[in-house]
Copies of this chain bind each other. A is one copy, B any other.
Amino acid sequence: MKHTDSVEIQQFYARHMHLLDGGAAEAWARTFTPDATFAAPSMTEPVRGREDIAAGARAAVGRRAADAEVHRHCVTMTTAQETGDGIEAVSYVQILATRRHGAPRLLLSCVMRDRLVRQDGELLVAQRRISRDDRPHG
User: Interface on A for B, CB 8 Å cutoff?
Assistant: 1, 3-4, 6-8, 10-11, 13-15, 17-18, 70, 72-80, 90, 92, 94, 96, 98-109, 133-136
Contacts and interface: CB of A to CB of B under 8 A. Distances in A.
Nearest to A102: B134
7 tightest A-B CB contacts, nearest first: A98-B133, A104-B109, A70-B133, A3-B7, A104-B106, A14-B77, A14-B79
Contacts of A75: 76-77
A100 B1 contact: no
Given A14-B77, A98-B109, A98-B134, 8 more contacts: A18-B79, A70-B109, A72-B92, A96-B106, A99-B134, A100-B134, A104-B107, A104-B134
Nearest to A8: B3
Which of A75, A99, A106, A133: most chain B Cβ within 10 A? A133
Q: How many copies of this chain does the complex contain?
A: 3
A72 B7 CA distance: 22
B92 A94 contact: no
A105 B108 contact: no
